[in-house]
Chain A
Amino acid sequence: MGLQAYLTLAAVVFGIGLFGVVTRRNTISILLGIELMLNSVNINLVAFSRFSGDVTGMIFTVFTICITVVEAALGLSIVILLFRVRRTVTADHLDLLKG
């Protein structure tokens, strides 16, 4: 399989993740969509790295994975904090900053 197949697969998964982010109402589900999108970017990085024979892309993937884990932990702790304050995790109800 050439590089195109892997890039197309990653693009499709990215689109599905974007669909989840746009349509979901629950904050945790939105985070799941973001995870899917970040995941597809990792596929892109590894595919480019393998096909060009340069290890840099794989090291970027290691960094991306670590940053994603930090992002997930922080996002979910914010969700838990919001739940404590507002008693809801539905994104539509979290309008504290609305003017």
Chain B
Amino acid sequence: MTGEVLAFWVLAILLVGSALMVVLTKNLFHAVLWLALALTGTAGVFLLLEAEFLAAVQLLLYAGGIVTIVVFAIVVTEKLVGERLSQVSRRITGGAVVSAALVWLIVSSIMERPLAITRAPMSGDLTQIIGETVLTRFALPFELLAVLMLAGLMSAIYFARPED
């Protein structure tokens, strides 16, 4: 068993386990912490796929940014209700059937196709290639992304304005 296979299985178990805890745990705050672990596991998968830059972005934006925002939202909403952050799920059987059917559909169609076993060679520093491609071939989507983030920022400020 090579190191990559071992690392993949460890990360897969970590990712699936923490994802299951996100959707099954009763305490909402604990669910957010499990989500942070799942996102960190995803960053590990990115590292395994030799995408160091994406792993760093994943840790900064997802595990850092989103988890902080969600914790803020919980503090603002749940604490005031005083339900002790507990929550119940509904339609568990139906949800499990739907998800299992979808996963079975995707996995069976993945298994049918002949997919690549070995990685194509990529020369040079991936981070440098990503940076150069973003600013040449994908310059317009990149700028549109900036506009989108500005619009998102402004609408978030609009929603959170003090009541008048």
Q: Which residues of A contact B (CB under 8 A)?
A: 1-9, 11-20, 22-26, 28-29, 31-33, 35-36, 39, 42-43, 46-47, 49-56, 58-59, 61-63, 65-74, 76-81, 83-84, 87-89
Pairwise interchain contact B73-A79, C-beta atoms closer than 8 A: yes
4 tightest Cβ-Cβ pairs between the two chains A and B: A53-B120, A20-B23, A70-B152, A22-B95
Query: How far is the CB of B163 from the nearest CB of chain A, in Å?
Result: 7
Pairwise interchain contact A47-B156, C-beta atoms closer than 8 A: no
Instruction: Describe B's contact surface by its main secondary structure.
Output: helix
Pairwise interchain contact B42-A39, C-beta atoms closer than 8 A: yes
Chain B 95-124 interface mask (CB, 8 Å, partner A; 1/0): 110111011001100110001111111100
Which residue of B76, B103, B152 is within 8 Å of A14 (Cβ)?
B103
Q: Which residues of B contact A (CB under 8 A)?
A: 4-5, 8, 12, 15-16, 19-20, 22-23, 28, 31-32, 35, 38-39, 42, 45-46, 49-51, 53-54, 57-58, 61-62, 65-66, 69-70, 72-74, 76-78, 80-81, 87-92, 94-96, 98-100, 102-103, 106-107, 110-111, 115-122, 126, 129-130, 133-134, 138, 141, 145, 148-149, 152-153, 155-156, 159-160, 163
Query: How far is the CB of B89 from the nearest CB of chain A, in Å?
Result: 4
Query: How far is the CB of A93 from the nearest CB of chain B, in Å?
Result: 11
Across chains A and B, the number of contacting residue pairs, with CB separation under 8 Å, is: 230
